A = this chain, B = another copy of it.
Amino acid sequence: MKLQLTLKDIAKHFNLSVSTVSRALRNDSTISEETRTKIMDYAKANKYKPNFIAANLRKKESNVIGIIIPEISNHFFSLIIAGVESVVDEHNYTLIITQSNEKMSKEIKCVQTLLSSRVAGVLASISKTTDSYEHFQEIIDNKVPLVFFDRRPKSLNADSVIVDDENGAFTAVEYLIKTGCKRIAYYGSHASLEIAVNRRNGYLRALRKYGIAEDRKIMYDCDTNLKAKEITYRVLAMDNRPDAIFAINDNTAAGAIYVAKRMGFSIPEDLSVCGFGDGFISENTDPSITSIDQFPFFTGKKAAELLLNKIKYPNPEETTGPLIIETSLIIRESTGNIIV
């Protein structure tokens, strides 16, 4: 048995030329109806599979798009991948997934791989440690379409699909205020991440709007479950303790809740807690966590659609402004009711 049937094999079988077979399979009308069906039937019966490699080489185009993800097993990103996959698949493209593991060195390697694979376009979310963008510039220089999602470089003129973190945070904090919270702590992350800055800004804007003074003493650098478990004892034991905690992600919120319950606080009566990101933890904690849904699947879809559009209508110079995904507040049990 031949390993893989080729056009040449089919041509030989019918005593035809390779080009005729090729055209017949693409249903080219310059080939007679009779010959066409004859060839197509034979191809189907013998499970002919076009060699994408050869076709792509010849056509100098590719049906694969590449994606660079900080961490595949992160639920948020895996949902983005699912969204991307849904549209990529629909358009008969193939997805190559690479993972940076939040390290710039690996991220650079990902770019090399994707470029060597001559992908038609790349989707990327930069790693936390990335502080120079030459590798991404190289993608642009090679004129392969590039779209960032969620996390994007500050100093690069490229398309992107980002979440409206600022508004999301604002909405969450405003909601806390409307439920009667007057002293809201912030558990955030390093200013190096744009999303962290934006969420913090949303938090601050909400405070300002309702005339609540910003207090640095209850704003923490705390973005993991573990850190929240460490810090929350101190936070809730202080004089003039916060009556709410707004955390940059649900894992952190869960850590805060864990500690608060063990310290005897009841939630949301004594303390309201709100997370961000709606990982699926938030539904399973007790109480379940009020949070901000970022619609990662939708984000992935939009990013892929934008990329495919750029592939279809190439226009290297032009980049539209970022596509902004609006968030949604999901109210659960860890916050109180709005006071009218």
Contact = CB atoms under 8 A, between A and B. Distances in A.
Most buried by B among A54, A113, A143: A113
Contacts of A3: 142-143
B53 A117 contact: yes
A62 B72 CA distance: 24
Contacts of A286: 258, 261, 285-286
Interface stretch (A15-23, A29-37, A91-99, A156-164): A91-99
A216 to B, nearest CB: 29
Contact of A57 (B57, B225, B284): B57
Contacts of A64: 96, 117
A104 to B, nearest CB: 15
Q: Quick one: copies of this chain in the complex? A: 2
A49 B85 contact: no
Interface string A139-150: 001110000000
B82 A52 contact: no
A113 B96 CA distance: 12
A97 B99 contact: no
B117 A94 contact: yes
B85 A113 contact: no
B62 A53 contact: yes
Contacts of A251: 284
Contact of A280 (B56, B98, B281): B281
Contacts of A89: 98-99
B117 A52 contact: yes
A138 B49 CA distance: 11
A248 interface: no
